[in-house]
Chain A
């Protein structure tokens, strides 16, 4: 089964709506989760690093009030795109990094399947 589950896989909604995306590590504890955004024909751009029990660290140019991240437990992080607009339409991917002794040791991060967000 999947190591990291991301939900939903696809969202289509109206401009102004807030959208929540969940990222769960299924068989290991993830102290750190990462949120990426990928525009068409571009690479993955790191948006923020989410640490369990503390505030997320945002990359330069990413608005923390626009992209709310909550990492309340060792298996769940959520990204909420607040008041989404068409320019927020993108492919959002989460990944989880296992603590020592957990997860697959040959991979530093395990990716979810991504969420394709379309804002009309």
Chain B
């Protein structure tokens, strides 16, 4: 059974701080790792990582995968109150037949950014 573990479970920082969120995984047939941001509604896709050591960047957010350590980190620099959310890590598992994927989610990291 695939397993995804995120740490810390919650984090409170001040605006302007830099944060690092962690995700480790145990999966058979690893394909990729995904990061999502969830506010009040459903998760919003952030990144999909497939190759080790290659950083993906979007504004103040960046993420990198380490296949040797079976882990990934999500960095947020110069945090803002709008970054307050639950950040979810997930790994897909391919389903037989249709070419679709089932996601296994970690418990998430709840980030609170205070002014």
Contacts and interface: CB of A to CB of B under 8 A. Distances in A.
Interface of A: 6, 31-32, 34, 41-46, 49, 51, 93, 95, 97-100, 106-109, 111-114
Contact of A31 (B32, B43, B98): B98
B56 to A, nearest CB: 10
Contacts of B48: 106-108
Contacts, number: 60
Interface residues of B, number: 22
Given A41-B110, A108-B34, A108-B92, A113 B41 contact: yes
Nearest to B10: A41
Contacts of A111: 42-43
Nearest to A111: B42
A109 B103 contact: yes
Given A32-B95, A41-B110, A43-B106, A97 B42 contact: no
Given A43-B108, A113-B42, A114-B42, 5 more contacts: A43-B105, A44-B105, A93-B43, A97-B101, A108-B34
Nearest to B103: A109
Contact of A44 (B41, B43, B92, B110): B43
26 contacts: A31-B98, A31-B100, A32-B95, A32-B98, A34-B102, A43-B106, A43-B108, A44-B43, A46-B103, A46-B104, A51-B98, A97-B98, A98-B100, A99-B99, A107-B34, A107-B45, A108-B48, A108-B100, A108-B101, A108-B103, A109-B92, A109-B103, A111-B42, A111-B43, A113-B42, A114-B42
